[in-house]
Amino acid sequence: MHIPDGFLKTEVWATFDLISVPTIGYLSHRAKGAGSDRQVPLLGVMGAFVFAAQMINFPVGLGTTGHLLGSTLLAITVGPVPAALVLAVILGIQALVFQDGGLLAWGANTFNMALCGVAAGYLPYYLLGSGRLRSVSIFLGGLLSVVTGAMLALLMLKVSGAPLTATIFMGSLTMFVVTGLLEGAITVTVVQAIERLNPAFVKAPGTNLPSLKKLVLAAACALVIVGILFASSLPDGLEKVAVSMGMEKHKWVLMQAPLANYEMPVLGSSYLRKSTAGLIGIGLVYAACLLLARLIRRQRMFGGNS
């Protein structure tokens, strides 16, 4: 669902840059009063895990693929406000380093996935997550996060003049609903795995952190090292929609990224290029989210909850 540069009219991407930049700034300030102190150290490892998971595309039918968005997973594990910040960081690194999503379209992608995606994904969990419907709420959150982000992306394309016919829209909706159902199932599975590894996590997120952080970071590396062997090379949902609307010819690159298409160009085999780029990405995201966590903690230490 990463919108590249060239797909949106100037007034559209500029508007969402003007919305997303100050909103992320505001949330970074408000993060000092959001969530638990014990969740903050998880930002680095959960950000790295979501980045790695987003690299692994899985088939969803109709000649297209999907991948984990991670909005709901992050919102549950680190809190909704930090989750939005982590996703904004991931989207920025993806655009700058891997040419995944446009630099000018960062605000639009952040609005769709980091702001609205997290809000939509966290809402069912907020309403139902403390009772017997906990797993159902997590599943619904995963579904809603994908469908919300996708529909907003399609709306932006439509406003930008894309020929979004009823047939293309219904086909797109079907693809994104299937992707959302898989997102929900994966999110439930990952959250349950975390809770099995650390049973206290439900009541006290962040308890027994050292072992949990190591396991999550190891899982992120394993996803890249092993997962890309099985990842589908078919286009993702938005790429498929763009091709069906003839939008690909409008795509352009503001700045050539060093690891474009998630590949380290100096290496030989395709596997080495992709796995090395993925591991570098994990390191970059982990470091950036670790800095974010320290910023939040410093604000809490010296700024109170005002």
Helix/strand/coil (H/E/C) assignment for every residue in 192-237: HHHHHHCHHHCCCCCCCHHHHHHHHHHHHHHHHHHHCCCCCCCCEH
In a domain, 59, yes or no: yes
In a domain, 3, yes or no: no
Structure confidence by residue, pLDDT tens digits, 186-217? 999 999 988 887 766 655 555 556 677 888 99
CATH number of the domain encompassing residue 240: 1.10.1760.20
Q: What pLDDT shows up at residue 41?
A: 74
In a domain, 99, yes or no: yes
What is the amino acid identity at position 205?
P
Q: What pLDDT shows up at residue 238?
A: 86
What is the token pair recorded at 15? 């508007």
Q: What pLDDT shows up at residue 111?
A: 98
Domain with 36, as residue range(s), is 10-303
In a domain, 253, yes or no: yes
Residuewise pLDDT in 10s, the chain (306 residues): 799 999 999 999 999 999 999 999 999 888 876 555 566 778 999 999 999 999 999 988 778 898 999 999 999 999 999 999 999 999 999 999 999 999 999 999 999 999 999 999 999 999 998 888 999 999 999 999 999 999 999 999 999 999 999 998 998 899 999 999 999 999 999 999 888 877 666 555 555 566 778 889 999 999 999 999 999 888 888 888 888 888 888 888 888 999 999 999 988 899 999 999 999 999 999 999 999 888 887 776 666 544
Q: What pLDDT shows up at residue 154?
A: 95
In a domain, 4, yes or no: no
Structure confidence by residue, pLDDT tens digits, 212-237? 788 899 999 999 999 999 998 888 88
How many domains does one find in the chain? 1
Q: What pLDDT shows up at residue 212?
A: 79
Strand blocks (E) in the chain = 58-61, 64-66
**Helix 134-159, helix 71-78: angle, nearest 10:** 130
In a domain, 110, yes or no: yes
In a domain, 2, yes or no: no
- What is the spatial distance between Cα 205 and Cα 217, in angstroms, rounded to a whole number? 17
- What is the spatial distance between Cα 193 and Cα 212, in angstroms, rounded to a whole number? 11
In a domain, 5, yes or no: no
- Enumerate residues 6+ apart whose C-beta is below 8 A from 215: 197
- What is the spatial distance between Cα 26 and Cα 22, in angstroms, rounded to a whole number? 6
